[in-house]
Structure 1
């Protein structure tokens, strides 16, 4: 189940949207989680429009879509492969439930290995639990759109790519370290991949339960920077 604040959102008839007296909005909602406690997240019920200020851009115009799979009460999408700088590896289903993206051990090791190779020229920092790969934060910067490291691309069942940009892949952990914010869930996890809320921050996600599809934007920070520059 995906939890936004204290409101539950799921396929369940007891989910928050279905408790309202407006049937037209019960099966469609959108969320955007903040990356800072100083900022507010937003949730919209219904199918929009969803205006992005100060430009009044309707975010529906920039969304990519992929089918959602109904499995128990959770939201699943199929990921065909992950790519880092063009290097790909195939994957099974992905769901939403944890703070940090949690991967089955074999997938986790492949991801960390690929990211390590792509950042081989960046000095390492000591690992900070629960993460295993950490870089020296001072060497990769932290601009408005995040650290200067490669993006991680998730190719969905529809062929559309959900890009996990640097602000959603790297976590500043203190002591001069920034760590790859993915967790090894072990070999016995029920789901091979569970996307974390950290990876959703500043992404606009539109859940269309009526048509069983997910609309996603990737991080809105570069767009916000472009609109205010």
Structure 2
């Protein structure tokens, strides 16, 4: 590993000035489903979505600083997320990124020496890394630069010996220490750069971005849209961003919908007919900095049909240790519910669904439950499902967002829990995933601390 970083440092040994441009107020990018294997068997795909969602939940619920060690499971083939294209450098180099509201760092595969384990999937285009030598505006991030602390936290100065008195100031040439970031479905590591982020009508010089030289299970970079200082919304100074997620049934079609990012003066509530709920103040827990990057919302109750589920309050609101509460995470595919909450939801469906026999064998294969055999039925009738939030906001899910056809004659509930081991003790109890957000317009009003949403055909 040491020799790998030495060769990497040799490739990136340059320092050049940055460019500037004029500001604008709105940036719109196409947002498309990111699928690494369009030819994958549907049952295998949903099975992977289950394990990917559970791995993501385990990571979120046990979040530590990025330098912490953990065992990260590696899963093949698909992320089940959504991607955007961003351009960095001078001249610009365009690369795909997973759009992730559950993390706060932007990084791309970097240099010809980039290595990725478990990233060669059937149906996946070859990874094209960013080439720092080809960008006249790219610089290695210095250890004395405050942005280094965005990655490593307030204690980074203890790792920057060459920047401490009497060597501090212009004489300090020490670079920011390498980063290692752990995700539920993989990891990545490298060195931090500052470079120009190039939008069609706007250039942002000095943007902090990670130059990853090795990864596991990460066939594209990640654009963190969370609440941390290194996130894309924070670095752009966004007041709002919004998106509308096209259905997963288009995951191999190239169909896309816009991601809109707004800067400048507060434009008010331009989008009407939105249900809005406050974004909560995030828990500040020592040793668990990642909790501060999540979008917590106040989920009040869940209803299945006419049944109001009696969810204990400890699961609906985060405590002083950061346990409990609900977050919105575009990087999670299937919504995660802590075991006790999931049991309430599952039992509500089992009590009310009498028309279709249970498909137990399929449940054991996919990890989804409950599943029902619908052979012989031309239509499917299931109880309604709603999430109710503080402020009266209600998210009434269309049937396709919480039940999906698996195989030719069965449907399964697309919510998951950690049923393959002990209960996950820490972190959010409920993680609202992107599968449940299909064909919803979702708006993150960062200035007014509100989440807005409405059902809408995304196109």
Tell me which residue corresponds to 2:447: 210
Identify which of 240, 243, 246 aligns with 1:31. 243
1:178-193 paired onto structure 2 within 5 Å:
178-185=411-418, 187-189=423-425, 190-193=427-430
Report the more deviating stretch, 126-135 or 105-114.
126-135
The equivalent residue for 2:261 is: 45
1:68/1:125 Cα in 2 relative to 1: closer, same or farther (>3 Å)?
same
Q: Counterpart of 1:152?
A: 385
Comparing 96-105 with 119-128, which one deviates more in the overlay? 119-128
Cα deviation, residue 160, structure 1? 1.8
Q: Distance in 1 between matches of 2:374 and 2:243?
A: 30
Partner of 2:301: 81
Superimposed CA distance per residue, residues 161-189 of structure 1 (whole angstroms, 9 cap, x where no aligned partner):
11122111012221422100011135324
Name the structure 2 match of 1:103. Answer: 337
Is the 8 Å Cα contact of residues 356 and 374 (structure 2) preserved in structure 1?
A: no
| SS in structure 1 of the partner of residue 388 of structure 2 | strand
With a CA cutoff of 8 Å and minimum separation of 6, indicate the structure with the bigger relative contact order: 1
Q: CA deviation at 1:19?
A: 3.3
> In the TM superposition, what is the alpha-carbon distance from 1:138 to its structure 2 partner?
4.4
Structure 1 segment 46-195 matched on structure 2, within 5 A:
46=262, 60-71=271-282, 72-91=292-311, 92=316, 93-97=325-329, 98-126=332-360, 127=363, 128-138=365-375, 141=378, 148-185=381-418, 187-189=423-425, 190-195=427-432
Structure 1 residue 14 and structure 2 residue 230: aligned? yes
Give, in whole Å, the separation in 1 of the partners of 2:227 and 2:394.
25
Q: Distance in 1 between matches of 2:258 and 2:268?
A: 14
State how far apart, in whole Å, the 1-side matches of 2:350 and 2:374 are.
15
State the secondary structure of the residue aligned to 1:11: coil
What is the total number of aligned residue pairs between the two structures?
Answer: 205
The 3 A distance-change label for structure 1 pair 65 and 90 is farther
Deviation (angstroms), 1:17: 2.7
More strand by share: 1
Q: Which has the larger radius of gyration?
A: 2
Query: Which string of whole-angstrom CA distances, capped at 9 and with x for unpartnered residues, describes residues 26-52 of structure 1?
Result: 1201011121222213211127799xx
Q: What's the C-alpha RMSD, in Å, of the aligned pairs?
A: 2.7
